Chains A and B, each alone.
Chain A
């Protein structure tokens, strides 16, 4: 065989030509909602004035309520929405082929404003109350979602968030009642949820049982255990189910900011921990050694193994850590918002948290925002219930789940899970 002289050029990398793809999903969805707005504006118009209350009586700085004429406002916003939808069409038809995200965000905010204005004609929307309620419903979702993000970034699907929340709430209630110390109760919640994690980790990592199956079965197990003890022990001895709650600590200064101050900074320590946790998980995942290794293990475990990272040990302890984080969310029920344990009290929050993980594309910040969005939707239902809404409350409650279905179906954004999510690592 003769060796030929190396050919010139040709060392350039294989870069394939891009095909132009036009995605019509966003314009279609926006178009449908714009149509709904037009219906509100012209076919089922509500007249009168809509009031948005911006302050509560205890706030330091009182803001005057925002009063808008209902029909005109809805018409104006509906027209804006139509323009936004057309803008999205233009992006797809004449522009880069895809509508940018900001158009959807602006659209969503405008649509919500139009809807609230239309619904509350001649009535009052209490904005601070709505936000407080949103946060209260979001806290467990956000903790659950953070736990989900940690676990799934490491490659272990966590369907057991529901069980971890419930067991965290249960542990906090019992230990909090016995010790009378909310801090110890909080730690107990973390340990309790971590125990659930240990089972998940042991079965899925050591025994290679399908992670979805372990998660589903664990949820049943926790419901069974907590309900059993609740019926058998807690109901006969209520002193075991009266934990001392965390006090509210308003943060001086910050809590006096109009509208948002009281909502965000007149809270218990659990909510403050949440703010820190969101930041820490984000920072940790993307800026630290821990996060780099965790993500490596979830994306390409074999690559991690070949550089000396113990894949299964990393996964095991991070699933445990995820449990501890979810546990704080569980404690929020019994040490803050509710104050005692109730049978199956998490009521599907763990699954909404799972939805937030997916909708948030396995990113802690996005997942937190998704948790807030879902909390908002759930809360909106009760607000609308008070002012009397044409939309049945059940449909509002359905919203997070429907949105998630759209999300996983790729209608809203594209979600790409960690490559090795759900697959056990079997060392050769």
Chain B
């Protein structure tokens, strides 16, 4: 089935998220939609899928104009979507998830689970997915959950399949398998829209590439284009993929983690026997595919994980077993990976957010009372120093853009006396300008002699910042390698291959 989008425009208030976007996808074609975070790719696909209503423009399938009031209509017309955040009910079985919304029934509304199981098996066998229809989804690894999403779409005879940032949660190995699946689907005549911001994947699998930026199509590119060409189209100017930084001048071992293990609420080891050291004045990047224990590791450092064993010492002081307050007081600065959830209080003003982790004692509290004037002066100073674009210090943090929110978090964390700085996914979802700002600040912290840990799932970021790289896989560290280790070696390590770690 041929998909055509004509002049799609979607506004949110005064903001134009999609501005007259045209896109054509032929059957048996993989069409990549390339763009930065926030370029409007997901909005466009949500319009296509009936989740949003376009303000202007039309959607055509095989040259017929469609009107989608909701996802149900889109699905009926043969559009399927593999969502970035899987749309699977965690406590349901695979078969139940696949049948949900178009249930096979016998008698009055009684589910025909046998039929659903057979359907799952049939599709699973056809593409070699190896998915058990009776498995509970939440107990499946993410890669398999994604296959369930694909089965879900295929079980509705989707002719147009949209993959929204499908590789974010996959290992390079799983990514390769997904690519193979996409090619297989293409052979079967499915039209595929592949949304991503990762250049390697685009070049590998795409038949055609459409680049969008700030809600507009900026042009088409061929899969033969170089990374630099694609990147500059995507961000609108030549991009420096590396950051200028002086060679590290590491000091003594300042931060030592040994045999650290973390057990999660489901009684599983999410971090197991992890040991590493960070020297003063160096950046240790922790690389790895999302969900391999990085989050829990940083939380354990901060004292947020209740079931932690092993040892973490900072300048000789043991941190395991200490409360978050005591860990912060020991001089740990922390940028959490989800700034909206863990980094900021959206309803608080910028000023209030800047004192969030200093609500005890001087300078902002005297005899239990807030020192509002000191806070205002401090906030004003940081607003200027960190170039936070806001109306004033009384603007609510929830109203700021992502980049400015992250600057507030950085301003707060970097304005304390630090002995260790931990930044988890510090640039996730940020625009290029903000990314540069954040990276510069992190390098500055290193140059000031602070040991720095950066956790990132983006290989580009890891390579740009790291003096040394630790790769995590399934809760353990596969190896710790120098910052100039080739990417393909890192990629293998991210898939759990220890052989490459000898480098």
- List chain A positions with a Cβ less than 8 A from chain B: 1-4, 6-7, 10-11, 13-21, 287-290, 292-293, 295-296, 299-300, 302-310, 419, 428
Contact = CB atoms under 8 A, between A and B. Distances in A.
Contacts of B227: 1
A300 B88 contact: yes
B144 A310 contact: no
Residue of B89, B272, B488, B495 contacting most chain A CB atoms (<10 Å): B89
Contacts of B111: 287-289, 292
Contacts of A292: 92, 96, 99-100, 103, 111
Nearest to A6: B176
Interface string B465-503: 000000000110000000000011001100111000000
B497 A13 contact: no
B13 interface: no
18 contacts: A11-B177, A14-B141, A15-B141, A16-B264, A16-B475, A17-B475, A287-B110, A288-B111, A292-B103, A292-B111, A296-B92, A299-B89, A302-B87, A303-B87, A307-B72, A308-B71, A308-B73, A419-B90
Contacts of A287: 110-111
B270 A7 contact: no
A17 B269 contact: yes
Mostly, the A contact residues are loop
Interface in B62-81: 70-73, 75-76, 81
Interface in B261-295: 263-264, 267-270, 272, 291-292
Interface string B223-254: 00001000000000000000000000000000
B142 A304 contact: no
Interface of B: 46, 49, 51-52, 70-73, 75-76, 81, 83, 86-92, 96-97, 99-103, 105, 109-111, 140-144, 152, 171, 173-174, 176-177, 200, 204, 227, 263-264, 267-270, 272, 291-292, 307, 474-475, 487-488, 491-492, 495-497
B496 A10 contact: yes
B99 A6 contact: no
Contact of A289 (B70, B103, B307, B495): B103
Contacts of B101: 293, 304, 307-309
Contact of A296 (B52, B89, B292): B89
A29 to B, nearest CB: 21
Given A19-B263, A305-B71, A293 B100 contact: yes
Cβ-closest 6 pairs across A and B? A308-B72, A307-B101, A13-B141, A16-B268, A303-B87, A4-B488
Contacts of A293: 100-101
A18 B263 CA distance: 8
A19 B96 CA distance: 30
A1 B200 contact: yes
Nearest to A14: B141
B87 A300 contact: yes
Given A21-B267, A306-B81, A308-B101, A299 B92 contact: yes
B100 A11 contact: no
Contacts of A3: 200, 204, 488
A289 B51 CA distance: 23
Contacts of A2: 488
A419 B88 CA distance: 13
B474 A16 contact: yes
A10 B497 contact: yes
A309 B100 contact: yes
Contact of B110 (A13, A288, A296, A419): A288
Nearest to B309: A19
Contacts of A13: 140-141, 143-144
A401 to B, nearest CB: 28
Contacts of A19: 263, 267-269, 307
A4 B492 contact: yes
A116 to B, nearest CB: 39
A21 B307 CA distance: 11
Contacts of B91: 295, 299, 419
A23 B496 CA distance: 34
B105 A303 contact: no
Given A1-B487, A296-B89, A289 B105 contact: yes
Given A308-B75, A308-B101, A7 B173 contact: yes
Given A13-B144, A21-B267, A304 B52 contact: no
Contact of B75 (A4, A21, A289, A307): A307
